[in-house]
Amino acid sequence: MDNKYRKQNLWSGFLFGMGFIAFVDEAVFHQLLQWHHFYDRETTRIGLISDGLFHAFSWFATIGGLFMFADLRRRNAVWMRRWWGGVWLGAGAFQLYDGIIQHKLMRLHQIRYVNNLLVYDVIWNLTGALMLVIGLVLVKQLQQGSQREGEPRKRERAST
């Protein structure tokens, strides 16, 4: 497989995964559960800027990632497991960034405004780390596997 498409599969998945998890965060935790808010009064200015940038980027990434996937499809270059690896990586990376940098370092907002916040923080970041590990394992596995098998099998399936 062309090196360019290997990367594109990973990037397409990564961008989509990141955008998707950001969307879940906003839809579930902001809107449905209302655990945290649109704006927290203690928010630092830098935190606000990084939040805005990330929101804009993930909004774009969700749509852009899917178009990259469509591009791979018409080139018969979809490598489904590699794409999923990218999705897990993107989702995990975003969750960890949100949980550690935005929540803790910049104190943009907390997951929930309760006493035993630590429990929420630990679960939040562990979930992020777990997703990141799943992604890493998937991608690593494929890198070793592809050296033996050469091309991904998806290519034959896609052409039928």
Partner 1 sequence: MNAHLHNFLFDPIVVAQWILAFPFLLGIFVYALAVLFSNRKYRRWPLLRTFFWLLGSVCSLVAVIGPLASKAYVDFFAHMIGHLLLGMLGPLLMALGAPLTLILRTLPIHLARRLTALLRKKLLRMISDPVVAALLNIGGLWILYMTNLYAMMHEYTILHVLIHLHVFLAGYVFTTAMIEIDPNPHRASYTYRMTVLVSALAAHCILSKYIYADPPQGVLRSEAERGGMLMFYGGDVVDALIILILCLQWYRASRPIKVVTASKSSNEM
Start-to-end CA span in the chain (Å)? 18
- For partner 1, give the closer residue by CB, 74 or 148: 74
- For partner 1, give the closer residue by CB, 33 or 49: 49
State in angstroms the smallest separation of the CB of 67 from partner 1. 4
State in angstroms the smallest separation of the CB of 38 from partner 1. 6
- For partner 1, give the closer residue by CB, 59 or 120: 59
Contact (Cβ atoms closer than 8 angstroms) between residue 82 and residue 9: yes
- The residues binding partner 1 (CB under 8 A) are 38-39, 41, 43, 48-49, 51-53, 55-57, 59-60, 63-64, 67, 70-71, 74-75
State in angstroms the smallest separation of the CB of 29 from partner 1. 15
> How far, in Å, CA of 68 to CA of 8, rounded?
7
Helix (H) or strand (E) holding 158: helix 154-159
State in angstroms the smallest separation of the CB of 55 from partner 1. 5
- For partner 1, give the closer residue by CB, 5 or 88: 5
Rounded to the nearest 5 percent, the helix, strand and coil shares of the chain are 80, 0, 20
- For partner 1, give the closer residue by CB, 27 or 130: 27
Contacts of 17 (CB under 8 A, 6+ apart): 65, 86, 87, 88, 89, 90, 91, 92, 94, 135
State in angstroms the smallest separation of the CB of 123 from partner 1. 27
> How far, in Å, CA of 129 to CA of 125, rounded?
6
